[in-house]
Structure 1
Amino acid sequence: MAGRLILMGSGETSTHLVAAHRLGIEAAEADHVLVLDTPYGFQENAPLISRKLAAFFRTSLSIEADTASYRSAEDGAVACEAMLAAVRGARYVFSGPGSPTYALGVWKETPLAPALRGILSSGATVTMASAASLTAGAMTLPVYEIYKVGAGLGWFEGMDLTSHLGLEAVFIPHWNNTEGQGFDTSRCYMGRRRFDLLKSMLPAGMGIIGVDEHTAAVIDFGAGQLQVIGAGEVTLCGESTSALADGEAIGLEAASKLLGTYSPPPAFQPPEPVTDLPQGLANRSASEIASALLELESHAAQGSERARESLRSVILEIAQLAASGLVQPVEWVGDYVDLLVEIRSDLRAGKRWEEADRIRAGTLRDTPSGAHWTLDSTPSSEPRR
Structure 2
Amino acid sequence: MQDRPGVLVLMGSGETSPTMVEVHRSVVRRLGGRPRAVLLDTPYAFQENAADISSRARRYFARSVGLDVEVGTEIAGADWVFSGPGSPTFALDRWTATPVAAELRGRVRARDGATVLASAAACTAGVAAVPVYEIYKVGAEPHWREGLDLLGALGLQVAVIPHYDNAEGGTHDTRYCYLGERRLAFLERLLPPDAAVLGIDEHTAVVFDLRAESVQVAGRGGLTVRRPGSRTLLPAGTATGLAELRRLIRGGGEGPGASPVPAAPPAAGHVTLGELTRACEQRFGAALGAHDAAEATQAVLDLETEITRWAADTEEDEGGVDEAREILRHLVTGLGRLADTSEPRDRLAPLVEPLLRLRERLREQEAYDSADGLREALAAGGVSIEDGPDGPRWTVRG
Question: Given the two structures, how large is their TM-score scaled by the length of structure 1?
Answer: 0.61
Q: Distance in 2 between matches of 1:48 and 1:180?
A: 27
Give the CA deviation at 1:122. Answer: 4.0
Question: Counterpart of 2:175 in 1: which secondary structure?
Answer: coil
Q: What are the residue-to-residue correspondences of 1:184-195 with 2, within 5 Å?
A: 184-195=173-184
Q: Is the aligned partner of 1:204 residue 2:193?
A: yes
Residues 20 and 229 in structure 1, CA contact (< 8 A), matched pair in contact too? yes
In the other structure, the counterpart of 2:231 is 241
Q: Distance in 2 between matches of 1:236 and 1:219?
A: 15
Q: Is the aligned partner of 1:146 residue 2:135?
A: yes
Q: Distance in 2 between matches of 1:205 and 1:216?
A: 24
Q: Distance in 2 between matches of 1:122 and 1:213?
A: 26
Q: Is the aligned partner of 1:18 residue 2:18?
A: no
Structure 1 stretches of at least 4 aligned residues deviating more than 4 Å after TM superposition: none
In the other structure, the counterpart of 1:50 is 54
Residues 222 and 235 in structure 2, CA contact (< 8 A), matched pair in contact too? yes
Q: Distance in 1 between matches of 2:126 and 2:150?
A: 6
Superimposed CA distance per residue, residues 67-91 of structure 1 (whole angstroms, 9 cap, x where no aligned partner): 11xxxxxxxxxxxxxx3xx311111
Q: Distance in 2 between matches of 1:261 and 1:110?
A: 36
Residue identity opposite 1:254 in structure 2: E
Superimposed CA distance per residue, residues 175-203 of structure 1 (whole angstroms, 9 cap, x where no aligned partner): 00001111111111111121111111111
Residue identity opposite 1:5 in structure 2: L
Give the CA deviation at 1:110. Answer: 1.3
In the other structure, the counterpart of 2:37 is 33
Residues 8 and 129 in structure 1, CA contact (< 8 A), matched pair in contact too? yes
Question: Counterpart of 2:150 in 1: which secondary structure?
Answer: coil
Residue identity opposite 1:209 in structure 2: L
Q: Distance in 2 between matches of 1:162 and 1:233?
A: 18
In the other structure, the counterpart of 1:60 is 64
Residue identity opposite 2:61 in structure 1: F
Give the CA deviation at 1:50. Answer: 0.9
- Equivalent position to 2:6, from 3, 8, 15: 3
Q: Distance in 2 between matches of 1:18 and 1:37?
A: 20
Describe the shift of the 1:259–1:149 C-alpha distance in structure 2 as closer, same or farther (beyond 3 A). same
Residues 88 and 118 in structure 1, CA contact (< 8 A), matched pair in contact too? no
Give the CA deviation at 1:261. Answer: 8.3
Residue identity opposite 1:31 in structure 2: P
Residue identity opposite 1:237 in structure 2: R
In the other structure, the counterpart of 2:82 is 94
Q: What are the residue-to-residue correspondences of 1:69-80 with 2, within 5 Å?
A: none
Question: Counterpart of 2:224 in 1: which secondary structure?
Answer: strand
In the other structure, the counterpart of 2:245 is 255
Question: Counterpart of 2:207 in 1: which secondary structure?
Answer: strand
Superimposed CA distance per residue, residues 289-335 of structure 1 (whole angstroms, 9 cap, x where no aligned partner): xxxxxxxxxxxxxxxxxxxxxxxxxxxxxxxxxxxxxxxxxxxxxxx
- Equivalent position to 1:226, from 191, 215, 223: 215
Cα root mean square deviation, aligned? 1.7
- Equivalent position to 1:106, from 94, 98, 101: 94
Give the CA deviation at 1:123. Answer: 2.2
Q: Distance in 1 between matches of 2:176 and 2:243?
A: 25
Q: Distance in 1 between matches of 2:158 and 2:90?
A: 21
Give the CA deviation at 1:163. Answer: 1.0
Residues 214 and 231 in structure 1, CA contact (< 8 A), matched pair in contact too? yes
Residue identity opposite 2:249 in structure 1: L
In the other structure, the counterpart of 2:155 is 166
Moved more, 188-197 or 164-173: 164-173
Describe the shift of the 1:87–1:157 C-alpha distance in structure 2 as closer, same or farther (beyond 3 A). same
Q: Distance in 2 between matches of 1:215 and 1:3?
A: 20
Superimposed CA distance per residue, residues 41-100 of structure 1 (whole angstroms, 9 cap, x where no aligned partner): 1011111111111100000011101011xxxxxxxxxxxxxx3xx311111100001111
Q: Is the aligned partner of 1:214 residue 2:173?
A: no
Point out the structure with max Rg over C-alpha: 1
Residues 14 and 20 in structure 2, CA contact (< 8 A), matched pair in contact too? yes
Residues 97 and 129 in structure 1, CA contact (< 8 A), matched pair in contact too? yes
Q: How many residues align?
A: 246
Q: Distance in 2 between matches of 1:155 and 1:221?
A: 27
Residues 105 and 148 in structure 2, CA contact (< 8 A), matched pair in contact too? no
Give the CA deviation at 1:117. Answer: 2.1
Q: Distance in 2 between matches of 1:49 and 1:115?
A: 24
Q: Distance in 1 between matches of 2:96 and 2:112?
A: 24
Q: Percent identity?
A: 44
Residue identity opposite 1:108 in structure 2: T
Q: Distance in 1 between matches of 2:174 and 2:201?
A: 12
In the other structure, the counterpart of 2:318 is none
Question: Counterpart of 2:173 in 1: which secondary structure?
Answer: coil
Residues 91 and 124 in structure 1, CA contact (< 8 A), matched pair in contact too? yes
Q: What are the residue-to-residue correspondences of 1:105-124 with 2, within 5 Å?
A: 105-120=93-108, 121-124=110-113
